[in-house]
Amino acid sequence: MDDLLRAAVAASHLRGLPDELLNDLLTDAQPVRAPAGQALHRAGEDQRHVELVLRGLVRVYASAPDGRTLTMRYCRTGALMGVLSLYTEAFVMPASTQAVTDVELLAIRPGVVRRIADHDVRMAGALLFELSERASTFAAEIGRSAFSNVRQRVARHLLDLAAERQRDAVLVARITQQDLANAVGTVREVVVRTLRELRHDRLVETGQAGIVISEPERLLGEAYPGWWNTGP
């Protein structure tokens, strides 16, 4: 394994697997590169998949008929995506995935994952830990949504807004300070102060074009402190 893959495995639930099992798991795995803004999977697809994020940031989101979106998960190095598809009778992708920054993934063959898990309790245990973590973070998100502070809500809304309208590598949230205050449930003065703090920390820049997210992964840390690879 090269250093990039080794670091991703070490950050994932695959980290406890012995080298010979990892070598078997990664047989015929294919690297995937995608530029910022590119769709990786779309809701409604029925293709089973397992992908390990090597580098970058991926957003998993659901869409409403009127165009609104709800972010279900942000994935960074070490995130395993698609494990749910392995154990669903008739799988249909419930959400879409999008590269927020330039990303590198490793697409692992779903059939290989199932074969190893069916015969080796260590692989099955790694998948159980992954699925348990997804369920736990879903439950925890209820409290986060209800009780997060203003800085966390502002950071999350800026990320979501910039990502759903992304066209290139630059993440820009085009929203007024008053609309941002309305969206996160506070007053404009508090949003002004919060944006000033985020600018001071070099997480965002503000200008006529909107609010530019300078450090998306660091801003994600503000939105979800201590919570990186979350979701289904």
Are 101 and 220 a contacting pair, CB within 8 Å? no
- Is the pLDDT at 180 greater than 50? The verdict is yes
Contact 223, 152 (CB under 8 A): yes
Residue with tokens 């015969």: 119
Q: CA quadruple 174, 180, 184, 189: dihedral positive or negative?
A: positive
| Each residue's pLDDT tens digit, 65-88 | 877 677 777 888 999 999 999 988
pLDDT reported for residue 156: 85
- Give the pLDDT mean for 177-181: 84
Domains annotated on the chain, with CATH: 3-145 (2.60.120.10), 148-223 (1.10.10.10)
Average pLDDT, rounded, for the chain = 87
Query: Any idea what DSSP says for residue 26?
Result: T
Q: Please give the C-alpha separations between residue 190 and each of 151, 173, 177, 197, 222, in angstroms, as whole numbers.
A: 9, 18, 10, 11, 16
User: What is the arithmetic mean of pLDDT over 195-210?
Assistant: 90
Q: How far apart are CA 33 and CA 80, in angstroms?
A: 16
Which 3 state secondary structure label does DSSP give 66? coil
Looking at residue 111, what is its pLDDT? 95
Question: Does the structure show a pLDDT above 50 at 232?
Answer: no
